[in-house]
Structure 1
Amino acid sequence: MTTPLLARRSQPYQCSLPEPILAQAQRELFEVPDRRQTDIEHLRQWLCKQPHLRTRTDDWFLINFLRGAKFSLERAKEKLELYHSLKTHCPEMMGGGDPKDDMVAEVLRAGGFVPTPKPLPNGQRLVIIRVAARDTERVPQEVMFRVSNMISALLAEQDEASQVTGIVGLLDLKDATLAHAMSMTPTLVKKAVTCWDSFPVRQKGMHYFNTPTGMDPVINLFRSFMKEKMKQRLWFHGSDQSSLHSAIPPECLPEEYGGTLPSVNALAEEWVKRVEENREFFLDYMKYGVDEKLRRGKAKSAADLFDIEGSFRKLEID
């Protein structure tokens, strides 16, 4: 049975943004409603001339990339190219998965990446990221990243406002162990940051909470690969709940953080249902990527995309 998300792809885009968020899109993203369809069509025609890309071309998909690129057509093309290249060359993080797969289902239920239902006062969507939710003996870190990307893709499809307001993370490091830290190799972190950058999602920052002793090297490793503007959007609260509440009001937090929302586990169960209900969306999601044999010019490799050697040189200099 066709899901609503798949069915609407044959329909033209219809804006559902409330007036204040539409005004924000016009102000911050340079979105011009009268020009929106022309921009979508420009991207669609460009994609049709890229034989190596296996991609969606529906309005709903393309408007997301336009917003992620602040309606710069060239930047949107760059993001689309990178996004699809990573889906092929980094499938362990970007390939998606079947919600009925045992490993995917286990990670979903663990609640390691959980968007909360109540937007922050500025409209941003909060995502709870619990590092210790991963069983280090059973679940590779790459799978955690892959499932978090699946949830992010579904959130962007179902919550149009978040395309404009962006998301902010609460990274909870409670009970994180040395095994969690050791899995964050430079190569893995570089891949993760590159994949995040390819998503048409406005990343508005990260709040670190319950940071244990000895985690600084991992945090600094992530910082070394971040863009400068993202480095300015990191906030550290230690284990001080009052500090956290000064940045994120309790009515927007789960009960574990002194908030009034249901527990993270309860919210995770809701996301398990949402992902399972949209299984056809995720099966379709796995179809897209690139065919390097059809790429004009030199084919790309994972080394080209991640520039691992260059990144290592940078780390040695720093």
Structure 2
Amino acid sequence: MALPFQFKAETVISEKRTTQEALDTIKNWLKETTLPKIQDEFIILFLISCENDIDVTKKAIEAYFRIKNEVPQIFDNYDVSGEELKSIMDVIGLCVIPKRMKDNRVVVCARLLDTNYRRCNIIAGIKLSLIPSLMIQIKNPVKEIVVIIDLKGVGFMHLTCLKMGAIISYLRYIQEALPIKLHTIHILNSNYVFDKTLNLFKIFIKSELLDLLHTHPPGTNMENFHKNFVPASYLPEEYGGDLASFDEIMKETQKEISQMQPFFDAEEQLRKTYKGQKRKI
């Protein structure tokens, strides 16, 4: 089943964001593997995220199917009307900023809506966090993504929600297989909980990902943040931005997520044509 992308491969090629030669090289390589034969638009997402490096693109596509197949608890059964995603969206607020930056980057913000650690389902939270990496690519591939995570309200007891295997699998996926390039990750209101978590999982984080990480303590001067990292014109008003409130943008993001069921169904059906090992987390 074809994934319902709303852009055409030839359009991206005409914009010189990748080449027909690179696309054909990956298509020919796929014919020699046991991987699913994916459509041109999906291949282009990987090429752009890997900066058109053919060898890196091959590794990313292989990792995408291998890791997702190994850990169905995280990557299968995305039901936009189901209780799992609905419940976690009452706990974690997710905003995909609709206005793209001039260099075709997209800003994604996340923060706690409910600080009760008992409601924090880490598996559901991981699922929710992965949705923007595909959602923002459906209409038109982006160059990179800027992630902003606000830790206000995160306390010591949230550490009890962590699941080692799930987070390790999540880290493997975003480092080896994510079909979008990470530009930077900003941690606002960084605290001792984040430091403890980072130390716990640091062995599983590559230096390239650590280099993208910027921590900002409570009381950070947001004007300096705007000047040095993300301009106010791409942020909700709660972060000194010029846009609408976090809640307003979040509601629009949730509306887009609610329309993604055909994509999730087709993507999972495609992946299940690849037979690989599954494991528990």
1:249 corresponds to which letter in structure 2? Answer: P
Q: Deviations over 1:244-296 (max 9, x none)?
A: 3332222211111121211222112112221222321122122133567x6xx
Once residues 84 and 134 of structure 1 are traced to their aligned partners in structure 2, the CA distance between those partners, rounded to angstroms, is 34
3-state SS in 2 of match to 1:181: helix
Aligned residues: 277
Q: How does 1:250-265 map to 2 (within 5 A)?
A: 250-265=232-247
Q: How does 1:56-75 map to 2 (within 5 A)?
A: 57-75=38-56
Once residues 96 and 47 of structure 1 are traced to their aligned partners in structure 2, the CA distance between those partners, rounded to angstroms, is 26
Which residue of structure 2 aligns with residue 179 of structure 1?
Answer: 157
Q: How does 1:108-123 map to 2 (within 5 A)?
A: 108=89, 110-120=91-101, 122-123=103-104
1:44 corresponds to which letter in structure 2? Answer: K
Structure 1 residue corresponding to 2:11, chosen from 5, 11, 15: 15
CA 1:215–1:42 in 2, change beyond 3 Å: closer, same or farther? closer
3-state SS in 1 of match to 2:10: coil
CA 1:300–1:282 in 2, change beyond 3 Å: closer, same or farther? closer
CA 1:108–1:14 in 2, change beyond 3 Å: closer, same or farther? farther
2:136 corresponds to which letter in structure 1? Answer: L
3-state SS in 1 of match to 2:11: coil
Q: How does 1:119-130 map to 2 (within 5 A)?
A: 119-120=100-101, 122-130=103-111
Q: CA deviation at 1:208?
A: 1.3
Q: CA deviation at 1:97?
A: 0.5
Is 1:104 matched with 2:79? no
3-state SS in 2 of match to 1:14: helix
Which residue of structure 2 aligns with residue 241 of structure 1?
Answer: 221
3-state SS in 2 of match to 1:98: coil
Once residues 174 and 261 of structure 1 are traced to their aligned partners in structure 2, the CA distance between those partners, rounded to angstroms, is 20
Structure 1 residue corresponding to 2:188, chosen from 205, 209, 212: 209
Given that 2:13 and 2:20 are in contact with CA atoms closer than 8 Å, whether structure 1 keeps it comes out as no
Once residues 56 and 113 of structure 1 are traced to their aligned partners in structure 2, the CA distance between those partners, rounded to angstroms, is 32
Once residues 69 and 46 of structure 1 are traced to their aligned partners in structure 2, the CA distance between those partners, rounded to angstroms, is 16
Given that 2:88 and 2:121 are in contact with CA atoms closer than 8 Å, whether structure 1 keeps it comes out as no
CA 1:41–1:214 in 2, change beyond 3 Å: closer, same or farther? closer
3-state SS in 2 of match to 1:130: strand
Which residue of structure 2 aligns with residue 85 of structure 1?
Answer: 66
Given that 2:5 and 2:41 are in contact with CA atoms closer than 8 Å, whether structure 1 keeps it comes out as no
Structure 1 residue corresponding to 2:118, chosen from 118, 129, 137: 137
Given that 2:46 and 2:179 are in contact with CA atoms closer than 8 Å, whether structure 1 keeps it comes out as yes
TM-score (norm 1): 0.75
CA 1:136–1:214 in 2, change beyond 3 Å: closer, same or farther? closer
Structure 1 residue corresponding to 2:265, chosen from 273, 283, 292: 283
Which residue of structure 1 aligns with residue 256 of structure 2?
Answer: 274
Given that 2:233 and 2:242 are in contact with CA atoms closer than 8 Å, whether structure 1 keeps it comes out as yes
Once residues 116 and 148 of structure 1 are traced to their aligned partners in structure 2, the CA distance between those partners, rounded to angstroms, is 14
Once residues 48 and 186 of structure 1 are traced to their aligned partners in structure 2, the CA distance between those partners, rounded to angstroms, is 36
Q: Deviations over 1:193-239 (max 9, x none)?
A: 11112112111121111123443111333443222122222222212
2:31 corresponds to which letter in structure 1? Answer: C
Which residue of structure 2 aligns with residue 43 of structure 1?
Answer: 26
CA 1:233–1:8 in 2, change beyond 3 Å: closer, same or farther? closer
Which residue of structure 2 aligns with residue 154 of structure 1?
Answer: 135
TM-score (norm 2): 0.84
Q: CA deviation at 1:8?
A: 5.8
Q: CA deviation at 1:89?
A: 1.2
Q: CA deviation at 1:120?
A: 3.7
Unpaired runs of 5+ residues, structure 2, are: none
Q: How does 1:299-318 map to 2 (within 5 A)?
A: 300=277, 302=279
Given that 1:131 and 1:180 are in contact with CA atoms closer than 8 Å, whether structure 2 keeps it comes out as no
CA 1:261–1:57 in 2, change beyond 3 Å: closer, same or farther? same
Once residues 278 and 259 of structure 1 are traced to their aligned partners in structure 2, the CA distance between those partners, rounded to angstroms, is 28
Q: Deviations over 1:97-118 (max 9, x none)?
A: 1212122233345553322122
3-state SS in 2 of match to 1:215: helix
